[in-house]
Amino acid sequence: MSATIDLKKTTTRDLNSRLQNESAAPAGGTWQIANVRGHHSVAVGIDRPLTIEIDGNTGYFCAGMNHGAEITVKGSVGQGVAETMSAGKVHVTGDASMAAGASGRGGLLVIDGNAAARCGISMKGIDIVVKGDVGHLSAFMAQTGRLVVLGDAGEALGDSIYEARLYVRGAVASLGADCVEKPMNDEHKEELAELLSAAGVTDVPVEAFRRYGSARKLYHFNIDNAGAY
Amino acid sequence: MCGIAGLFLKDSALEPRLGELLAGMMGPLSSRGPDSAGFAIYGEGRPDTVKLSLHGESEGHVTAVAGELAEALGKELSFAIRHTHAIVSVPEGDLAHAESWLSVHAPEISVIGKGKRMEIFKEVGNPVAVGKAFGLETMRGSHGVAHTRMATESAVTTDGAHPFSTGADQCLVHNGSLSNHNSLRRELRREGVRIATENDSEVAAGYLTWRMRQGQSLGEALQSGLDDLDGFFTFVVGTESGFGVLRDPIACKPAVMAETDQYVAFGSEYRALVDLPGIDNARVWEPKPATVYFWERGQ
């Protein structure tokens, strides 16, 4: 099954209803979405393997709650792209606004350009590869999953981080509370190489990256701080 | 919420279409700010004349007041009536007289803007309807800003709608909320800056006016604002010849910009920009937090 949906003629509600309906959009189908014109919530809540290509810049929450589809946006996306994704792949050829991949539980989000503030906020298992820079407070309260940044990271990277792993090639403006640099062991080089390969990055050696993660000092109340309360 | 649209033309061939393009940008932002709307247009100006933007109760009311003002000044004043507003052109030498006459004889009139080129229009109601009521799509000019408001810090009134103007040819629109506006308002009033409402955004406008009065450029004044304004903000500001954008360091309030050889455009969301000419090939980006963006017209 293959079809083009024109968002000048179809509402986003109808588009999403069709893509979410298994008999209207059986697994394995290919869909093109044209004339997106910055609409919000395009191609959300899809729970099976569809191939979807979105032509143009989208608004908020594009490909949100994705569970198995492979979604490519030829353009840039507004805030919250692929938020709470649990499986599948979302590929943005342009930039992403804030909170890309927010609270994602699984799947892979690839952004060819830059991601703005709070990329990967509260990520819970998603993998995110950003080929450009990420803004401030990226991976804020990140729980699990991996964030790979080929460019620079803004202020307070990994603030209040739990167990997510962060790999950054460029400069980090500052680390957030309880986020520290950690050694790159073989297991980390191996997983980073897999992530780069999955994102189609073939010309960057894993040695170019530094790894950041949790110092685990916020996990428990420190009795020495009792006087502060 | 609130929505902002701004358009700064580099190509004068687009000037006859400024209002039409700005109206097209403001419409999609109605959902971000359905309770009121307003816009500032930088149009034709004459060196020895100041345009006063007067807001009254009705078309009849502002027409009558404009007529009485002309009579009081003993001059033939040219004025344009649009909906509840009158744009009255006053010779520079008569400006002080005109303003004092208005405050004494028509205190119910709000002077919402003055300047050589700037005209301001704002009203409560659906933004598309507000734009139509003022005939926004027929207006021409070199740059303009528009705002759709969802009130948070003060009441839904025309005087609480944006843009705010606290200095000649200066205007500001704001998405966000300031937390130190009360103390700053007191300080600015002590410094002699006229702030008419209890609205937080007007304080930001007054702050920039005060800084520019001290000799700072708009770009420098915006930079100073990063130190002195506390709260959430995305500002778009206009001067007689300039156009600036500033987001606070946390940058919760959305912003998208687009630039081509013909224009620089700002929208709270990309939806506001989709009908601009050449948008498919424009450079589209998100302005960075705590970074001043500023364009000036070539002389």
Kindly list the residues from chain B whose CB atom is less than 8 angstroms away from the CB atom of residue A94. Answer: 284
Region A27-50: what's the mean pLDDT?
Answer: 97
Nearest to A85 by CA among A57, A44, A49, A117: A44
More confident position, B217 or B16: B16
Selected for mutation to probe chain A from B29, B250, B286 (highest A CB count within 10 Å) is B286
d(CA B210, CA B213): 5
Quote the domain boundaries for residue A152: 2-228
Kindly list the residues from chain A whose CB atom is less than 8 angstroms away from the CB atom of residue B274. Answer: 37-38
| Residues recorded for chain A | 229
The interface residues of chain B toward chain A in range 264-283, judged by CB-CB distance below 8 A, are: 269-274
DSSP string computed for A175-213: B-TTEEEE---HHHHHHHHHHHHHTT--S--GGG-EEEE
Residue B252 designated active-site? no
Q: A169-176, long-range: CB within 8 Å, 24+ apart, which pairs?
A: A169/A204, A169/A208, A169/A209, A169/A210, A170/A133, A172/A210, A172/A212, A173/A136, A175/A212, A176/A137, A176/A140
- Judge: B284–A57 Cβ closer than 8 Å, yes or no: yes
d(CA B85, CA B105): 17
Region A152-174: what's the mean pLDDT?
Answer: 97
| Shortest CA distance from A80: residue in chain B | B254
Beta-strand ranges (E) seen in B131-198 are 143-149, 164-167, 170-178
pLDDT of B26: 97
C-beta atoms surrounding A44 within 10 Å? 21
The interface residues of chain B toward chain A in range 206-265, judged by CB-CB distance below 8 A, are: 249-251, 254, 256
Does the pLDDT at position B299 exceed 70?
A: no
With bands split at pLDDT 50, 70 and 90, how would you rate the model's confidence at B298? confident
Nearest CB to B269: which of A59, A76, A135?
A59
Distance from CA of A118 to the nearest CA of B (A): 10
Q: What is the ipTM of this complex?
A: 0.92
pLDDT of A220: 83
pLDDT of B266: 98
**Interface size, chain A vs chain B, as Cβ–Cβ contacts under 8 Å:** 43
Nearest to B115 by CA among B61, B181, B163, B65: B163
- The neighbouring-strand residues paired with B173 are B236
* Average of per-residue pLDDT values in chain B: 95
With bands split at pLDDT 50, 70 and 90, how would you rate the model's confidence at B240? very high
- How far from the centroid of its chain's Cα atoms is residue A130's Cα? 8
Does the pLDDT at position A108 exceed 80?
A: yes
| Shortest CA distance from B285: residue in chain A | A95
Nearest CB to B274: which of A38, A78, A135?
A38
Nearest to B161 by CA among B26, B37, B31, B33: B37
With bands split at pLDDT 50, 70 and 90, how would you rate the model's confidence at B21? very high
Query: Contact, B180 vs B143, CB < 8 A?
Result: no
With bands split at pLDDT 50, 70 and 90, how would you rate the model's confidence at A221? confident
Q: Which amino acid is at A205?
A: P
Kindly list the residues from chain B whose CB atom is less than 8 angstroms away from the CB atom of residue A153. Answer: none
- Judge: A57–B254 Cβ closer than 8 Å, yes or no: no
C-beta atoms surrounding B155 within 10 Å? 12
- The neighbouring-strand residues paired with B81 are B86
Does the pLDDT at position A162 exceed 80?
A: yes
pLDDT of B155: 86
Distance from CA of B166 to the nearest CA of A (A): 32
With bands split at pLDDT 50, 70 and 90, how would you rate the model's confidence at A1? confident
| Stretch among A103-112, B49-58, B145-154, B229-238 having the lowest mean pLDDT | B145-154
How many domains does chain A divide into? Answer: 1
| Residues recorded for chain B | 299
DSSP string computed for B60-109: HHHHHHHHHHHHHHTS--EEEEETTEEEEEEEGGGHHHHHHHHHHH-TTS
pLDDT of B1: 81
pLDDT of B220: 93
pLDDT of B154: 80
Q: Which amino acid is at A226?
A: A
Region B187-210: what's the mean pLDDT?
Answer: 94
Task: Choose, from B1, B2, B156, B191, the residue flagged as catalytic.
Answer: B2
Kindly list the residues from chain B whose CB atom is less than 8 angstroms away from the CB atom of residue A39. Answer: 271
Region B106-114: what's the mean pLDDT?
Answer: 96
pLDDT of B75: 86
Region B258-275: what's the mean pLDDT?
Answer: 98
pLDDT digits (tens, 9 = 90+) for A110-157: 999 999 999 999 999 999 999 999 999 999 999 999 999 999 999 999
DSSP string computed for A85-142: --EEEEEESS-B-SSTTTT--SSEEEESS-B-TTTTTT-EEEEEEESS-B-TTTTTT-
Report the C-alpha dihedral over residues A138, A142, A146, A152, rounded to 10 degrees. 20
pLDDT of A154: 97
CATH number at residue A13: 2.160.20.60
Does the pLDDT at position A213 exceed 90?
A: yes
With bands split at pLDDT 50, 70 and 90, how would you rate the model's confidence at A79? very high
Question: Measured between CB atoms, does B95 come within 8 Å of chain A?
Answer: no
Does the pLDDT at position A67 exceed 80?
A: yes
pTM score = 0.94
Region A91-104: what's the mean pLDDT?
Answer: 98
pLDDT digits (tens, 9 = 90+) for B112-166: 999 999 999 999 999 999 999 999 999 999 999 999 999 887 889 998 899 999 9
pLDDT of B203: 96
* Average of per-residue pLDDT values in chain A: 97
Buried-state track A163-174, b at ≥16 Cβ within 10 A, e below 16: ebbbbbbbebee
pLDDT of B192: 94
pLDDT of B43: 96
